[in-house]
Amino acid sequence: MALLFLFLVLTHLAYLQNISANFYSDFDITWGNDHAKILDNGQQLQLTLDQSSGSGFQSKNEYLFAKIDMQIKLVPGNSAGTVTAYYMSSQGDKHDEIDFEFLGNLSGDPYIMQTNVFSQDQGNREQRIYLWFDPTADFHTYSVLWNPQQILFSVDGTPVRVFKNNENVGVAYPKNQGMRIYSSLWNGDDWATRGGLVKIDWSKAPFVASYQNFNAQVCSTSSSDCSANAWYSQVALDSGEQQQLEWVRKNYMVYDYCSDTKRFPQGLPTECTR
């Protein structure tokens, strides 16, 4: 069984495949069917939330390691209480997950973008930043680079978070389970805006989030070697990327689990000390 599992993993990693999406062929609407629309011959997708339902979609394929870009235009106006989730997740027990969550806010207040990483069903690794632009005025590119060494979250090419593989000190890392891409627009007003103090104003419904220009560089089954590709082999940021990450953390970070000693009174998680 162990040899079979190793063979499946190695063959899954065998080559780099570049996928530019057509939403008809690459994604399925998974809930709120009448609240989701595919437009422009499959080049754009819209999710809608109102009092009757939210909506969501998922990729038809699973990926084990990938560099994924999606352009999203978030819910405009008074979006308080809405949550637009865009993430990768495996299925079953002890699941792995890589999250973007966009927490709506009152008109004129900045959106909060929350990121999180689950490995073997263990999460509680939230970071939150204010976005430094209006994410509702136009499309912006939200990216995940996931390889055996690190998970890199980026916005319009600017690094906003790195989660390293720290298995050598006992921190589980997602590397053995394939993940699908998911997105959903739903009512999170019990927690999303100021801890649930601000509720959705349903008079502003329907709330709409739009998606376009999905692109994925993925490892799949063939004969070439995925490790020959730069994104798969990347182990650290270069100096310019590191400066960009520090700029984001200094100016826009509003919460980091690695600084929350009240939440972890017995000591911060192991990866926070490295």
**For residue 179, what is the DSSP state?**
B
Residue 273, token pair as written in the block: 């000390």
Assess whether 246 carries a catalytic annotation.
Answer: no
How would you list the strands of the sheet with 180-187, edge to edge? 27-31, 55-59, 180-187, 82-89, 97-103, 112-118, 127-130, 253-256
Q: Is residue 120 within 8 Å of 94, Cβ to Cβ?
A: yes
Residue of 101, 241, 246, 271 with catalytic role: 101
* Nearest to 271, CA basis, from 151, 175, 100: 151
| C-alpha distance across the termini of the chain, in Å | 35
Q: According to DSSP H, which parts of the chain are helical? A: 2-12, 23-26, 230-233, 239-252
Assess whether 97 carries a catalytic annotation.
Answer: yes
Q: Collapsing DSSP states into helix, strand and coil, what is residue 20?
A: strand
Residue 196, token pair as written in the block: 């649930």
How many helices and strands in the chain, by DSSP H and E?
A: 4, 16
Phi and psi of 21, rounded to 5°?
-80, 145
Specify the residue for token string 């997950």. 97
Specify the residue for token string 């911060």. 268
Angstrom distance (rounded) from CA 124 to CA 230:
30
**Alpha-carbon distances of 36 from 30, 33, 54, 124, rounded to whole Å:** 9, 6, 9, 30
Active-site residue list: 97, 101
